[in-house]
């Protein structure tokens, strides 16, 4: 008899061990006759043993899909949680009287989930609780990325039943500073010559130009040379031998140009939220359709659009698009009676990762365009030395360099009184300052330090303008 009891106890132990995922013994709940039974919490896919102080003859469960039961003896019940939910287990005595009703609450297994959180995110203070058939996450977490990871892991244990009550600690607002810097240099040189011959014994309008370009017209009736309007750097040398007049036109021209473009837009956004910025205008463009012509507007200027994400501490993931565009009046076309200009645009779109205060040159362009063109009178232009009088040479070169640098900063709100505006340093002039002294702004002292002081040192007529310190 003693040996039979040992075998029976061993079988019960193996059954309990088989139902426990980690090989640990199941929890136990003791049911006392005549006393109210509390809620029996059963983790999903785990087992709980219920012991009764009175032998029972019949046992039933209201919803077998939530909890599965089996009897180990006339006093022990094996309860296995299957699906999160709440159900009732009823115990009846041999005489048919009710022993007790036990409320069985099956919840997601948060024990393993807590262990996985500690392994994956050991430095995060995340509290895990169960509510009804779901998981509730609370506490303070370091970043949005870590919060997304925690919620994604919780979804594996309670799909669609995760309540996210986590708060993000630290600074989560990012100010992005973008600097557009472009330098353009151009040089153009031109050297051309033309020779004209005229005989006064012939018709006065008769003349011959041996010319490699069209910078001059034919010889006039008075024997002179008429240069086309707009021609610069032209020298006319002429003379006559008997009835024959000779004219030589030399043209030499050199043009140089330098363009500097600088834009520094700043924009602040919350981590994970999109922010847009446009400083410029909109250009009207007529568009024709079946209903007629309507006006569409194309934006131009400095455009900035970015989405910052604070990953961990001061590490920032930055998804951005930046562009600088302007109207190019050198290229235009006409349509339906409208004259439209083209646009010159420099744009970049990228995703980078950097820390607070660090900078990245996310885009750069070095462009060098070279062009030369030689026009000459056939055969005569190939004569050594003298052939230069029958040639026209054009040379042009254009170099441009563009750099776009981004610098993110983690920022916090401050007192409004601590912020200065570009209008704070400008006062309305009094009548005496305006009419007697010709001042367009009132008395104010120039700044001594900061960005405003650097601008004030330049050759402007005052220390005012849009400057942020």
Whole-number pLDDT of residue 350: 92
Residue 32 is predicted with a pLDDT of: 60
Higher pLDDT, 314 or 424: 314
Q: Is the pLDDT of residue 401 over 50?
A: yes
pLDDT the model gives residue 29: 61
Q: Give the residue-averaged pLDDT of 1-21.
A: 40
As a whole number of angstroms, the distance between CA 169 and CA 142 comes to 5
Give the pLDDT score at 409.
92
Does the pLDDT of residue 39 top 70, yes or no? Answer: yes
> Which pLDDT band, with edges at 50, 70 and 90, does 176 fall under?
very high
Q: What is the mean pLDDT of residues 59-67?
A: 88
Give the model's confidence band at 364: pLDDT under 50 very low, under 70 low, under 90 confident, else very high: confident
Q: For residue 435, what are the contacts with CB-CB under 8 A and spacing of at least 6? A: none
120's CB contacts (< 8 A; 6+ apart) are 149, 153
Q: Nearest-CA neighbor of 300 among 279, 322, 277, 329?
A: 279
Q: What's the pLDDT band for 197 if we cut at 50, 70, 90?
A: low
Mean pLDDT across 204-218: 43
Q: What pLDDT does residue 209 have?
A: 45
Question: 245-254, 292-301, 453-462: which range is least confident on average?
Answer: 453-462
CA–CA gap between residue 408 and residue 177 (Å, rounded) = 6
Per-residue pLDDT, averaged over 122-138, amounts to 84
Q: How confident is the model at residue 294 (pLDDT cuts 50, 70, 90)?
A: confident
- In this prediction, residue 319 carries a pLDDT of 92
Residue-averaged pLDDT of the chain: 76
Using the predicted structure, report yes or no on whether residue 227 has a pLDDT greater than 70: no
Model confidence pTM above 0.85: no
Q: Which of 103-112, 200-209, 294-303, 423-432 has the lowest mean pLDDT?
A: 200-209
Rg of the chain, C-alpha, whole Å: 44
Give 185 or 209, the one with higher predicted confidence.
185
Quote the pLDDT of residue 464. Answer: 46
Cα–Cα dist 138/452, whole Å: 47
Select the more confidently predicted residue: 448 or 76. 76
Residue 374 has pLDDT above 80, yes or no: yes
Q: What percent of the chain has pLDDT over 70?
A: 74
How much is the pLDDT for 305? 93
- pLDDT, greater one: 159 or 421: 159
Q: What percent of the chain has pLDDT over 90?
A: 6
Find the range with the poorest average confidence among 28-42, 300-314, 317-331, 409-423.
28-42
Q: What is the dihedral of CA 336, 341, 342, 347, to 10 degrees?
A: -130
pLDDT at residue 223 tops 50: no
CA atoms within 13 A on the CB side of 463: 17
90 versus 192: the higher-pLDDT residue is: 90
Which residue segments constitute the domains of the chain, with CATH numbers given?
Answer: 36-107 (2.60.40.1080), 110-168 (3.30.1340.30), 175-413 (no CATH), 416-457 (no CATH)
Task: Give pLDDT, residue 207.
Answer: 40
């Amino acid at each position: 008899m003693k040996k039979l009891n040992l075998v029976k106890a061993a079988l019960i132990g193996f059954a309990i061990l088989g139902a426990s995922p980690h090989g640990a013994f199941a929890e136990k709940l003791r049911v006392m006759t005549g006393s109210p039974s509390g809620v029996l919490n059963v983790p999903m896919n785990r087992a709980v043993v219920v012991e009764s102080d009175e032998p029972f003859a019949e046992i039933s469960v209201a919803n077998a899909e939530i909890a599965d039961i089996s009897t180990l003896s006339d006093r022990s019940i094996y309860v296995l949680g299957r699906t999160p939910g709440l159900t009732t287990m009823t115990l009846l005595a041999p005489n048919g009287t009710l022993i007790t009703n036990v409320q069985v609450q099956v919840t997601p297994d948060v024990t393993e989930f807590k262990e996985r959180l500690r392994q994956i995110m050991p430095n995060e203070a995340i509290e895990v609780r169960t509510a009804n058939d779901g998981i509730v996450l609370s506490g303070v977490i370091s970043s949005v990325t870590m919060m997304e990871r925690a919620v994604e892991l919780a979804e594996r244990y309670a799909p669609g039943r995760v309540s996210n009550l986590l708060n993000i600690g630290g600074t989560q607002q990012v100010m992005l500073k973008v600097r557009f810097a472009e330098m353009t240099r151009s040089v153009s040189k031109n050297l051309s010559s033309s020779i004209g011959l005229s005989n006064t014994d012939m018709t006065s309008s008769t003349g011959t130009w041996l010319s490699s370009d069209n910078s001059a017209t034919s010889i006039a009736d008075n024997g002179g040379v008429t240069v086309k309007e707009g021609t610069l750097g032209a020298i006319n040398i002429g003379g006559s031998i008997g009835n024959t007049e000779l004219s030589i036109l030399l043209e030499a021209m050199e043009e140089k140009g330098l363009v500097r473009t600088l834009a520094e837009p700043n924009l602040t956004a919350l981590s994970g939220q999109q922010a847009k910025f446009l400083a410029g205008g909109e250009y009207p463009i007529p568009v024709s359709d079946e209903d007629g012509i309507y006006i569409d507007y194309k934006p131009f200027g400095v455009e900035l659009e970015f989405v910052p994400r604070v990953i961990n501490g001061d590490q920032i993931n930055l998804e951005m698009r930046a562009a600088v565009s302007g109207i190019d009046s050198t290229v235009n076309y006409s349509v339906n009676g409208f004259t439209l200009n083209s646009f010159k645009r420099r744009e970049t779109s990228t995703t980078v990762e950097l820390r607070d205060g660090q900078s990245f040159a996310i885009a750069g362009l070095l462009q060098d365009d070279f062009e030369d063109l030689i026009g000459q009178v056939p055969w005569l232009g190939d004569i050594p030395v003298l052939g230069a009088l029958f040639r026209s040479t054009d040379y042009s070169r254009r170099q441009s360099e563009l750099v776009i640098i981004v610098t993110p900063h983690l920022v916090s709100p401050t007192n409004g009184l601590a912020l200065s505006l570009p209008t704070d340093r400008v006062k309305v002039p009094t009548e005496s300052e305006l009419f007697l002294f010709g001042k367009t702004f009132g008395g104010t002292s120039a700044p001594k330090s900061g960005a405003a002081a650097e601008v004030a040192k330049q050759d402007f007529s005052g220390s005012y303008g849009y400057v942020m310190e």
